[in-house]
Structure 1
Amino acid sequence: MSPGPTTAPAPVPVPAGLRIGEVARLVDTTPRTIRYYEEIGLLPAGGDREAGRHRLYAPEDVDRLRDALRLRTLLGVSLDELKELLEAEEARGALRDEWRHGNPDSGRRREILDQALGHVEHQLELLAGRRAEIARLERELGEKRDQIRARITEQP
């Protein structure tokens, strides 16, 4: 299984009603990964289909899967952390829609901003933790490199 793209793919229109194999090819993963992401709640499970019928994926499902795979690969986060990042992103999207289309009064606008800020701060905390782990690994590898170089210079 390929981990998926690490850079944002160029926006490509995704037709509605794709089957799981088509989605898997489109985002460079496997149907098994898609089913697992549905099972653990990273993707909506599409429970509105008739029994015995194949699930059809909407463009929004493909976008969310693409985002999940990209973040997982890019950040190396756990599935729980990935779920938190995606949930925060969805919550901010809902707040953004309410701001733009809900005509909130000034009090509610302040609440929306406070909630959006909280989601962004939580996402930044997750990223800072990942960055600290990477910096720690980088220091360890640098020390090992220095030790190896020292041993090389000690050799006759």
Structure 2
Amino acid sequence: MTNTMWMRGVEWLAASAADPRACKWEWDHGEGIALLEAGRFWDVLSVPERLGLLTLDLLWRPALPVPGPTLVDLAAGRVGFFLPPDPDGGWVGAGLRYATRGSWVAVPPPYRPARSLEWLVPPDGTGTLHSPGTLEDALRQANGTLAVLAAPPRGPRES
């Protein structure tokens, strides 16, 4: 990622803060993490890490656009996909957490990790987010793959 993209990513993310200057200061001089409110520019769908990593892998297909911003929390074992705001919050499922208006998300700067948080796909400053339909399809496919991998091995059939 170029410096220009990092700077645009910083400005784009900081714009969702109540005080963008304080947000950027915190990234550079404080703990390195800012709490940003979801629901205005983006929402975040958080999924268990294994499911999230497999989903992101499925989204990196040549036929698809580059995935939107994606954050991993290594301590919590979760992956967060940044999506367009959805006032209905229609994401429901085991292990899914949906952050929308009224929710706060801990976010490191786009240019470096902080504590256990790091960007798998940092924001590029263009406002690109994950497409809900594409993300849902990839999550279903990844969930199906994980279910197959978790199934106990079958023994030979008896006649």
- Using the size of structure 1 for normalisation, the TM-score is 0.29
Question: Greater CA radius of gyration, 1 or 2?
Answer: 1
Which structure has more relative contact order (CA 8 Å, sep 6+)? It is: 2
Higher strand share: 2
Higher helix share: 1
- Using the size of structure 2 for normalisation, the TM-score is 0.28
